[in-house]
Structure 1
Amino acid sequence: MPRLFVGVDIPPACRERAAVVRHCLAGRLASDIRWTRPDSWHLTLKFLGDVPPERVDAVAAALAAVAFAPFAARLGGCGTFPPLAAASGRGRKRGQPPRVLWLGLDRGGDELARLASAVDEALAPLGFAPAATPHHPHLTLGRVRRAAPDPWFEALAACDAADARIGDWPEFTVDAFTLWRSDLMPDGARHRVIERFGGGG
Protein backbone atom coordinates (compact mmCIF):
# COMPACT_ATOMS: atom_id res chain seq x y z
CA MET A 1 0.00 0.00 0.00
CA PRO A 2 1.62 3.31 -1.04
CA ARG A 3 2.57 5.76 1.69
CA LEU A 4 1.75 9.24 0.41
CA PHE A 5 2.35 12.86 1.30
CA VAL A 6 1.84 16.26 -0.32
CA GLY A 7 4.59 18.85 -0.32
CA VAL A 8 6.61 21.55 -2.06
CA ASP A 9 9.97 20.88 -3.67
CA ILE A 10 12.93 23.19 -3.04
CA PRO A 11 15.61 24.23 -5.57
CA PRO A 12 19.19 22.85 -5.61
CA ALA A 13 20.69 26.10 -4.28
CA CYS A 14 18.56 25.77 -1.14
CA ARG A 15 19.54 22.13 -0.72
CA GLU A 16 23.22 23.10 -0.83
CA ARG A 17 22.73 25.80 1.76
CA ALA A 18 20.61 23.53 4.00
CA ALA A 19 23.36 20.89 3.85
CA VAL A 20 25.75 23.44 5.38
CA VAL A 21 23.34 24.02 8.28
CA ARG A 22 22.86 20.29 8.80
CA HIS A 23 26.65 19.79 8.87
CA CYS A 24 26.94 22.62 11.40
CA LEU A 25 24.41 20.97 13.72
CA ALA A 26 25.89 17.49 13.31
CA GLY A 27 29.28 18.79 14.42
CA ARG A 28 27.85 20.18 17.68
CA LEU A 29 25.52 17.41 18.83
CA ALA A 30 26.33 14.01 20.34
CA SER A 31 22.76 12.67 20.26
CA ASP A 32 21.90 9.74 18.00
CA ILE A 33 20.22 11.57 15.11
CA ARG A 34 19.06 10.19 11.79
CA TRP A 35 19.88 13.03 9.42
CA THR A 36 17.67 13.35 6.36
CA ARG A 37 19.22 13.26 2.90
CA PRO A 38 19.29 16.36 0.67
CA ASP A 39 17.54 14.47 -2.14
CA SER A 40 14.54 13.94 0.16
CA TRP A 41 14.22 17.53 1.39
CA HIS A 42 10.88 19.26 0.87
CA LEU A 43 8.27 21.37 2.65
CA THR A 44 5.43 19.11 3.77
CA LEU A 45 1.85 20.28 3.23
CA LYS A 46 0.07 17.11 4.37
CA PHE A 47 1.04 13.55 5.27
CA LEU A 48 -1.58 11.07 4.10
CA GLY A 49 -0.09 7.80 5.32
CA ASP A 50 -0.92 4.46 3.69
CA VAL A 51 -3.45 4.92 0.90
CA PRO A 52 -5.06 2.00 -0.98
CA PRO A 53 -3.88 1.99 -4.63
CA GLU A 54 -7.44 2.29 -5.92
CA ARG A 55 -7.83 5.63 -4.07
CA VAL A 56 -4.72 7.34 -5.46
CA ASP A 57 -6.50 8.66 -8.57
CA ALA A 58 -9.22 10.24 -6.42
CA VAL A 59 -6.56 11.90 -4.25
CA ALA A 60 -4.82 13.28 -7.35
CA ALA A 61 -8.12 14.57 -8.77
CA ALA A 62 -8.92 16.38 -5.51
CA LEU A 63 -5.48 17.98 -5.41
CA ALA A 64 -5.76 19.08 -9.04
CA ALA A 65 -8.71 21.26 -8.02
CA VAL A 66 -6.62 23.24 -5.49
CA ALA A 67 -6.02 26.76 -6.83
CA PHE A 68 -3.47 29.19 -5.40
CA ALA A 69 -1.45 32.19 -6.50
CA PRO A 70 2.33 31.67 -6.83
CA PHE A 71 4.33 33.24 -4.01
CA ALA A 72 7.93 33.89 -3.00
CA ALA A 73 9.55 31.79 -0.27
CA ARG A 74 12.88 31.77 1.52
CA LEU A 75 14.28 29.35 4.07
CA GLY A 76 16.01 30.48 7.24
CA GLY A 77 16.23 29.83 10.97
CA CYS A 78 16.67 26.55 12.87
CA GLY A 79 14.27 25.08 15.41
CA THR A 80 13.04 21.90 17.06
CA PHE A 81 9.89 19.89 17.72
CA PRO A 82 8.96 20.02 20.50
CA PRO A 83 10.29 23.55 21.01
CA LEU A 84 13.15 23.90 23.46
CA ALA A 85 12.13 25.09 26.91
CA ALA A 86 12.74 28.80 27.39
CA ALA A 87 15.48 30.10 29.67
CA SER A 88 14.48 31.30 33.12
CA GLY A 89 16.15 33.47 35.73
CA ARG A 90 17.41 30.39 37.57
CA GLY A 91 18.79 28.73 34.48
CA ARG A 92 17.27 26.71 31.68
CA LYS A 93 14.17 24.70 32.32
CA ARG A 94 14.32 20.98 31.83
CA GLY A 95 11.82 19.82 29.24
CA GLN A 96 11.44 17.11 26.69
CA PRO A 97 14.47 16.64 24.45
CA PRO A 98 13.88 17.55 20.80
CA ARG A 99 12.56 14.85 18.50
CA VAL A 100 12.97 16.79 15.23
CA LEU A 101 15.48 19.39 14.04
CA TRP A 102 14.27 21.67 11.27
CA LEU A 103 14.82 24.69 9.06
CA GLY A 104 12.01 27.21 8.97
CA LEU A 105 10.88 29.86 6.51
CA ASP A 106 11.54 33.55 6.93
CA ARG A 107 9.40 34.38 3.89
CA GLY A 108 6.34 32.68 2.49
CA GLY A 109 5.33 30.89 5.69
CA ASP A 110 1.82 32.35 5.83
CA GLU A 111 1.19 31.57 2.16
CA LEU A 112 2.45 28.01 2.61
CA ALA A 113 0.16 27.56 5.62
CA ARG A 114 -2.80 28.75 3.54
CA LEU A 115 -1.86 26.30 0.79
CA ALA A 116 -1.72 23.51 3.38
CA SER A 117 -5.22 24.50 4.55
CA ALA A 118 -6.47 24.38 0.95
CA VAL A 119 -5.01 20.88 0.56
CA ASP A 120 -6.72 19.89 3.83
CA GLU A 121 -10.07 21.16 2.55
CA ALA A 122 -9.69 19.41 -0.80
CA LEU A 123 -8.94 16.05 0.80
CA ALA A 124 -11.46 16.19 3.66
CA PRO A 125 -14.34 14.82 1.50
CA LEU A 126 -12.18 11.74 0.85
CA GLY A 127 -11.97 11.04 4.57
CA PHE A 128 -8.55 12.53 5.33
CA ALA A 129 -8.82 14.34 8.65
CA PRO A 130 -7.72 18.00 8.67
CA ALA A 131 -4.58 18.85 10.61
CA ALA A 132 -5.18 18.98 14.36
CA THR A 133 -2.68 21.82 14.88
CA PRO A 134 -1.77 24.95 12.88
CA HIS A 135 0.60 24.28 10.01
CA HIS A 136 4.24 25.10 10.80
CA PRO A 137 6.20 25.30 7.54
CA HIS A 138 9.58 23.61 7.88
CA LEU A 139 12.17 21.37 6.29
CA THR A 140 13.13 18.39 8.46
CA LEU A 141 16.92 18.11 8.87
CA GLY A 142 17.03 15.22 11.32
CA ARG A 143 15.09 13.06 13.76
CA VAL A 144 16.50 12.38 17.22
CA ARG A 145 16.53 8.64 17.96
CA ARG A 146 18.29 8.85 21.31
CA ALA A 147 18.99 12.18 22.99
CA ALA A 148 22.23 12.97 24.80
CA PRO A 149 22.64 15.92 27.21
CA ASP A 150 23.48 18.18 24.29
CA PRO A 151 23.79 22.00 24.29
CA TRP A 152 20.74 22.36 22.06
CA PHE A 153 20.31 26.11 22.50
CA GLU A 154 23.96 26.80 21.81
CA ALA A 155 24.07 24.53 18.75
CA LEU A 156 21.03 26.17 17.16
CA ALA A 157 22.32 29.66 17.96
CA ALA A 158 25.77 28.87 16.52
CA CYS A 159 24.28 27.56 13.29
CA ASP A 160 21.96 30.55 12.98
CA ALA A 161 24.95 32.86 13.48
CA ALA A 162 27.04 31.00 10.90
CA ASP A 163 24.08 31.07 8.54
CA ALA A 164 23.74 34.84 8.93
CA ARG A 165 27.42 35.31 8.05
CA ILE A 166 26.94 33.46 4.76
CA GLY A 167 24.25 35.92 3.68
CA ASP A 168 20.64 35.74 2.57
CA TRP A 169 19.11 32.44 1.55
CA PRO A 170 18.15 32.13 -2.13
CA GLU A 171 14.57 33.16 -2.73
CA PHE A 172 12.40 30.86 -4.83
CA THR A 173 8.88 30.87 -6.22
CA VAL A 174 6.31 28.35 -5.07
CA ASP A 175 4.06 27.85 -8.08
CA ALA A 176 3.43 24.11 -7.74
CA PHE A 177 3.13 21.30 -5.24
CA THR A 178 3.61 17.55 -5.52
CA LEU A 179 1.97 14.29 -4.48
CA TRP A 180 4.79 11.97 -3.48
CA ARG A 181 5.07 8.30 -2.63
CA SER A 182 7.46 7.61 0.25
CA ASP A 183 9.10 4.18 0.41
CA LEU A 184 10.85 3.35 3.68
CA MET A 185 14.34 1.94 3.10
CA PRO A 186 17.12 0.92 5.55
CA ASP A 187 18.97 4.19 4.82
CA GLY A 188 15.87 6.37 5.05
CA ALA A 189 12.78 7.20 3.01
CA ARG A 190 12.94 7.36 -0.79
CA HIS A 191 10.45 9.70 -2.44
CA ARG A 192 8.90 9.23 -5.87
CA VAL A 193 6.73 11.79 -7.66
CA ILE A 194 3.21 10.62 -8.42
CA GLU A 195 1.86 13.88 -9.81
CA ARG A 196 2.74 17.56 -9.80
CA PHE A 197 0.08 20.28 -9.60
CA GLY A 198 0.45 23.85 -10.85
CA GLY A 199 3.55 25.29 -12.47
CA GLY A 200 2.35 24.28 -15.90
CA GLY A 201 1.63 20.66 -14.89
Structure 2
Amino acid sequence: MPRLFTGIEVPPLARQHIALLQSGLKGARWIEPSDLHITLRFIGDVSDADADRIVEALDDRVRLKSWAKPTIVPGELSAFGGEKPRSVHVSVKADVGLVALQRSHEVVMQRVGLKAEGRQFVPHITLGRFSGDVQPPQVVAYLSRAGGTVIQPWEPARFVLYSAGDSTGGGPYVPEEVWPLG
Protein backbone atom coordinates (compact mmCIF):
# COMPACT_ATOMS: atom_id res chain seq x y z
CA MET A 1 0.00 0.00 0.00
CA PRO A 2 1.67 3.26 -1.04
CA ARG A 3 1.67 6.38 1.16
CA LEU A 4 1.10 9.30 -1.22
CA PHE A 5 0.98 13.08 -1.31
CA THR A 6 1.12 15.80 -3.94
CA GLY A 7 3.66 18.58 -3.69
CA ILE A 8 5.92 21.14 -5.27
CA GLU A 9 9.64 20.53 -5.48
CA VAL A 10 12.09 22.98 -3.97
CA PRO A 11 14.62 24.08 -6.63
CA PRO A 12 18.33 23.29 -6.21
CA LEU A 13 19.51 26.76 -5.15
CA ALA A 14 16.82 27.03 -2.47
CA ARG A 15 17.64 23.47 -1.28
CA GLN A 16 21.30 24.49 -0.89
CA HIS A 17 20.32 27.53 1.14
CA ILE A 18 17.97 25.51 3.36
CA ALA A 19 20.61 22.81 3.91
CA LEU A 20 22.82 25.45 5.53
CA LEU A 21 20.07 25.99 8.14
CA GLN A 22 19.81 22.31 9.04
CA SER A 23 22.08 22.16 12.06
CA GLY A 24 22.30 23.45 15.59
CA LEU A 25 19.14 21.91 17.03
CA LYS A 26 19.94 18.80 19.04
CA GLY A 27 17.33 16.08 18.59
CA ALA A 28 16.14 17.25 15.16
CA ARG A 29 15.75 14.70 12.35
CA TRP A 30 16.67 16.86 9.39
CA ILE A 31 14.95 16.31 6.05
CA GLU A 32 17.34 15.35 3.27
CA PRO A 33 17.75 18.38 0.96
CA SER A 34 16.67 16.24 -2.02
CA ASP A 35 13.35 15.55 -0.21
CA LEU A 36 12.44 19.19 0.51
CA HIS A 37 9.02 20.11 -0.88
CA ILE A 38 5.78 21.98 -0.26
CA THR A 39 2.93 19.55 0.38
CA LEU A 40 -0.23 20.37 -1.55
CA ARG A 41 -2.39 17.42 -0.45
CA PHE A 42 -1.46 14.60 1.91
CA ILE A 43 -3.25 11.49 0.67
CA GLY A 44 -1.94 8.82 3.02
CA ASP A 45 -1.88 5.05 2.67
CA VAL A 46 -4.00 3.90 -0.26
CA SER A 47 -4.45 0.69 -2.20
CA ASP A 48 -2.75 0.29 -5.57
CA ALA A 49 -6.19 0.59 -7.22
CA ASP A 50 -6.85 3.88 -5.40
CA ALA A 51 -3.39 5.13 -6.39
CA ASP A 52 -4.22 4.37 -10.03
CA ARG A 53 -7.52 6.26 -9.69
CA ILE A 54 -5.72 9.25 -8.22
CA VAL A 55 -3.25 9.32 -11.12
CA GLU A 56 -6.11 9.03 -13.63
CA ALA A 57 -8.03 11.85 -11.94
CA LEU A 58 -4.99 14.14 -11.98
CA ASP A 59 -4.33 13.19 -15.64
CA ASP A 60 -7.95 14.02 -16.49
CA ARG A 61 -7.76 17.35 -14.67
CA VAL A 62 -4.58 18.31 -16.55
CA ARG A 63 -6.15 17.33 -19.88
CA LEU A 64 -9.26 19.41 -19.18
CA LYS A 65 -7.55 22.46 -17.78
CA SER A 66 -4.01 23.38 -16.90
CA TRP A 67 -3.12 24.67 -13.48
CA ALA A 68 -1.59 28.13 -13.33
CA LYS A 69 1.95 28.49 -12.03
CA PRO A 70 1.88 29.88 -8.51
CA THR A 71 4.63 32.14 -7.26
CA ILE A 72 6.38 30.52 -4.32
CA VAL A 73 7.52 33.16 -1.83
CA PRO A 74 9.46 31.65 1.09
CA GLY A 75 9.31 33.51 4.37
CA GLU A 76 10.80 33.12 7.83
CA LEU A 77 11.79 30.11 9.86
CA SER A 78 9.10 28.98 12.26
CA ALA A 79 7.96 25.94 14.21
CA PHE A 80 4.82 23.87 14.58
CA GLY A 81 3.68 22.53 17.93
CA GLY A 82 3.87 25.38 20.43
CA GLU A 83 4.58 23.93 23.88
CA LYS A 84 5.21 20.51 22.33
CA PRO A 85 7.31 21.39 19.27
CA ARG A 86 7.04 18.91 16.39
CA SER A 87 8.98 20.52 13.55
CA VAL A 88 10.77 23.55 12.16
CA HIS A 89 10.01 24.92 8.73
CA VAL A 90 10.36 27.77 6.28
CA SER A 91 6.98 29.46 5.93
CA VAL A 92 5.63 30.06 2.42
CA LYS A 93 3.31 32.93 1.51
CA ALA A 94 -0.21 31.70 0.76
CA ASP A 95 -0.15 33.10 -2.78
CA VAL A 96 -3.54 33.13 -4.54
CA GLY A 97 -2.24 30.73 -7.21
CA LEU A 98 -0.78 28.34 -4.62
CA VAL A 99 -4.02 28.28 -2.62
CA ALA A 100 -6.04 27.70 -5.80
CA LEU A 101 -3.73 24.83 -6.79
CA GLN A 102 -4.07 23.23 -3.35
CA ARG A 103 -7.85 23.61 -3.36
CA SER A 104 -8.11 22.00 -6.79
CA HIS A 105 -6.05 19.05 -5.53
CA GLU A 106 -8.46 18.76 -2.62
CA VAL A 107 -11.43 18.69 -5.03
CA VAL A 108 -9.76 16.01 -7.17
CA MET A 109 -9.05 13.83 -4.12
CA GLN A 110 -12.61 14.11 -2.85
CA ARG A 111 -13.92 13.17 -6.30
CA VAL A 112 -11.96 9.92 -6.17
CA GLY A 113 -13.55 9.17 -2.81
CA LEU A 114 -11.01 10.41 -0.25
CA LYS A 115 -12.21 12.19 2.86
CA ALA A 116 -11.76 15.94 3.02
CA GLU A 117 -8.49 17.13 4.54
CA GLY A 118 -9.30 18.18 8.09
CA ARG A 119 -6.39 20.56 8.51
CA GLN A 120 -6.16 24.07 7.13
CA PHE A 121 -3.60 24.51 4.34
CA VAL A 122 -0.50 26.21 5.77
CA PRO A 123 2.14 26.21 3.03
CA HIS A 124 5.64 25.52 4.31
CA ILE A 125 8.88 23.64 3.70
CA THR A 126 9.69 21.31 6.59
CA LEU A 127 13.39 21.40 7.54
CA GLY A 128 13.31 18.92 10.39
CA ARG A 129 11.08 17.01 12.78
CA PHE A 130 11.61 16.03 16.39
CA SER A 131 10.14 13.93 19.12
CA GLY A 132 9.23 14.99 22.64
CA ASP A 133 12.85 15.42 23.76
CA VAL A 134 13.17 18.87 22.12
CA GLN A 135 11.96 21.65 24.41
CA PRO A 136 10.49 25.02 23.36
CA PRO A 137 13.49 27.06 24.61
CA GLN A 138 15.79 25.00 22.34
CA VAL A 139 13.54 25.71 19.36
CA VAL A 140 13.33 29.43 20.17
CA ALA A 141 17.12 29.61 20.46
CA TYR A 142 17.54 27.82 17.11
CA LEU A 143 15.06 30.13 15.38
CA SER A 144 16.73 33.25 16.78
CA ARG A 145 20.23 32.04 15.75
CA ALA A 146 19.08 31.15 12.25
CA GLY A 147 17.54 34.61 11.89
CA GLY A 148 15.34 35.83 9.09
CA THR A 149 16.29 33.59 6.22
CA VAL A 150 16.00 34.88 2.67
CA ILE A 151 15.22 32.43 -0.10
CA GLN A 152 14.39 33.83 -3.52
CA PRO A 153 10.85 33.32 -4.86
CA TRP A 154 10.31 30.92 -7.76
CA GLU A 155 7.63 29.70 -10.14
CA PRO A 156 7.48 25.91 -10.24
CA ALA A 157 7.15 24.26 -13.63
CA ARG A 158 5.36 21.18 -12.30
CA PHE A 159 3.81 19.41 -9.35
CA VAL A 160 4.60 15.89 -8.22
CA LEU A 161 2.79 12.85 -6.84
CA TYR A 162 5.23 11.48 -4.26
CA SER A 163 5.31 8.18 -2.46
CA ALA A 164 6.86 7.75 0.95
CA GLY A 165 7.79 4.76 3.03
CA ASP A 166 5.96 3.85 6.21
CA SER A 167 7.39 6.03 8.94
CA THR A 168 6.63 8.87 11.30
CA GLY A 169 7.60 11.38 8.63
CA GLY A 170 10.47 11.99 6.34
CA GLY A 171 11.76 10.42 3.20
CA PRO A 172 12.99 9.19 1.08
CA TYR A 173 10.24 10.56 -1.12
CA VAL A 174 9.93 9.09 -4.59
CA PRO A 175 8.40 11.11 -7.43
CA GLU A 176 5.86 8.70 -8.94
CA GLU A 177 4.23 11.03 -11.48
CA VAL A 178 4.70 14.67 -12.53
CA TRP A 179 2.32 17.13 -14.20
CA PRO A 180 3.07 20.52 -15.75
CA LEU A 181 1.92 23.83 -14.36
CA GLY A 182 1.02 26.75 -16.63
Partner of 1:122: 108
- In structure 2, relative to structure 1, the CA distance for the partners of 1:148 and 1:49 (3 Å cut) is closer
More strand by share: 1
Which amino acid counterpart does residue 32 of structure 2 have in structure 1?
R
Taking the TM superposition and a 5 Å limit, the aligned residue runs for 1:1-201 are 1-23=1-23, 27=24, 29-30=25-26, 32-64=27-59, 65=61, 67-82=66-81, 84=82, 96-106=83-93, 109-149=95-135, 150-161=137-148, 163=149, 168-184=150-166, 188-199=170-181
| Contact 1:33-1:146 at 8 Å conserved across structures | no
1:73 deviates by 1.4
CA distance in 1, matches of 2:134, 2:159: 37
Q: Deviations over 1:74-94 (max 9, x none)?
A: 323111112x4xxxxxxxxxx
CA distance in 1, matches of 2:181, 2:133: 41
1:44 deviates by 0.4
**Gaps (5+ residues) in structure 1?**
85-95
Q: Residue 68 of structure 2 aligns to a residue in which SS?
A: coil
Q: Deviations over 1:42-73 (max 9, x none)?
A: 10011111111122221012123053211321
How many pairs were matched up?
A: 177
**Gaps (5+ residues) in structure 2?**
none
CA distance in 2, matches of 1:154, 1:192: 33
1:199 deviates by 4.3
CA distance in 2, matches of 1:68, 1:46: 15
- In structure 2, relative to structure 1, the CA distance for the partners of 1:3 and 1:148 (3 Å cut) is closer
CA distance in 2, matches of 1:114, 1:60: 19
1:171 deviates by 2.4
CA distance in 2, matches of 1:193, 1:60: 12
1:6 deviates by 0.6
Seq. identity, %:
26
TM-score if structure 1 supplies the norm length? 0.78
TM-score if structure 2 supplies the norm length? 0.85
